[in-house]
């Protein structure tokens, strides 16, 4: 396959702040934030795929790999056609994919991984508290119940964490996730901004 999307992977346990950081970065010219969790949540819950998503996410489980990657690739292509994402001018901040070792192989032909920002949250109880606080504010069936939150963290340890071992260690940059959003953003920008500029230059001068 010829064309690949240049991307930075936002990596970390549920509650580490991938969504917050991705959204903030997505507002900076030259970056495009794509979250697979957001992609799934925009689906009609009564649609066939919407039902599949709800069935898995309400238990804290992952949607099957093929379904996820197939939907993501169609969704991304649609965003380029609709002029929402310009792969030749914007660095994709990919949040929530790949989330299993099998997905690493499924996205390999589509994504050129320039670096991986690993948001490291050493305090698990703080993560659980963040997830529960968020569930109150947003429509997130997956974070409303304590046992579902615990399962999401267990699924992360079992299925997602091993994804890191599939990449060259030199690509992985750790950023402490426990600070304020602004402080964490400073760390994230320190990693991604040189990548974005070396690939695309200053977005405002383009």
Residues found near ligand AMP in the complex (CB under 6 A) = 14, 36-37, 40, 56-57, 62-63, 68, 96-97, 99, 103, 142, 152
Cβ distance to ligand AMP smaller for residue 90 or 142: 142
CB count within 10 Å of CB 180 equals 8
Residue 33 or residue 152: which is nearer to ligand AMP going by CB?
A: 152
Beta bridge partners of 32: 92
In the complex with ligand AMP, which residue's Cβ is closer, 77 or 197?
77
CB of 98 vs ligand AMP, minimal distance in Å:
6
Residue 68 beta carbon to ligand AMP: minimum distance, rounded to whole angstroms = 4
Q: Which is nearer to ligand AMP, 57 or 196 (CB)?
A: 57
Q: How far apart are CB 115 and ligand AMP at their closest, in Å? A: 19
**Closest separation in Å from C-beta 148 to ligand AMP:** 9
- The residues facing 7 across adjacent strands are 92, 113
Choice between 14 and 17, CB closer to ligand AMP: 14
* Separation in Å, CA 153 to CA 89, 93, 149, 186: 35, 22, 6, 26
Comparing every residue's Cβ against ligand AMP, the nearest one is 37
Triad 153, 126, 9: Cα angle to 5°: 55
| Nearest approach, Cβ of residue 78 and ligand AMP (Å) | 17
From first CA to last CA, the distance across the chain in angstroms is 27
Burial class (CB in 10 A: 0-12, 13-18, 19+), 198: exposed
27, 142, 200 from 206: Cα distances, Å: 17, 41, 8
């Amino acid at each position: 396959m010829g064309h690949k999307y240049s991307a930075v992977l936002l990596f970390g346990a549920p509650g580490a702040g991938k969504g917050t950081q991705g959204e903030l970065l997505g507002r900076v010219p030259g970056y495009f934030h794509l979250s697979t969790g957001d992609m799934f949540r925009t689906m009609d819950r009564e649609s066939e795929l919407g039902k599949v998503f709800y069935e898995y996410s309400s238990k804290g489980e992952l949607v099957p790999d093929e379904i996820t990657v197939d939907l993501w690739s169609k969704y991304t292509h649609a965003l380029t056609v609709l002029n929402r994402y310009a792969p030749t001018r914007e660095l994709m901040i990919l949040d929530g994919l790949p989330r299993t070792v099998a997905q690493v192989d499924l996205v390999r032909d589509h994504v050129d991984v320039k670096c991986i920002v690993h948001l490291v949250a050493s305090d698990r109880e703080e993560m659980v508290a963040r997830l529960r606080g968020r569930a109150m504010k947003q429509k997130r069936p997956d974070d409303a119940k304590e046992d579902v939150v615990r399962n999401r963290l267990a699924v992360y340890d079992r299925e997602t964490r091993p994804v890191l071992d599939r990449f060259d260690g030199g690509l992985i940059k750790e950023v402490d996730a426990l600070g304020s959003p602004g402080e964490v953003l400073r760390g994230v920008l320190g990693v991604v901004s040189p990548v974005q500029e070396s690939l695309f230059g200053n977005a405002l001068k383009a």
